[in-house]
Amino acid sequence: MIDMGKDASHGTPRITTVLPLADIPVEIEWQASPPPDDALARLLLELLGEDGLKEVCNE
């Protein structure tokens, strides 16, 4: 789920990405615009690890 809005304290655009993980609530807030898909994939790999990412993707 992606939520777009403005940061109340700075008036800068913000985008929040919520990842639907069963046991770990993860919410990533971007200040301005989200990174390209490859950067997001690298971030997820770093946060979840290879096994966790495979589990999320049902592979």
DSSP string, the chain: -EEEEE-TTT--EEEEEEE--SSS-EEEEEESSPPPHHHHHHHHHHHHHHHHHHHHTT-
d(CA 41, CA 46): 9
Q: Tell me, yes or no, if the pTM score tops 0.95.
A: no
Domain that holds residue 23: 2-56
- Per-residue pLDDT at 14 exceeds 70: no
- Mean pLDDT for 4-23 is 62
For residue 16, report the phi and psi dihedrals to the nearest 5 degrees: -110, 130
* Tally of domains within the chain: 1
Provide the pLDDT confidence category of residue 45 given band limits of 50, 70 and 90. Answer: confident
- Mean pLDDT for 12-32 is 69
- Mean pLDDT for 31-59 is 76
The pLDDT score that the predictor gives to residue 55 is 78
- Per-residue pLDDT at 58 exceeds 80: no
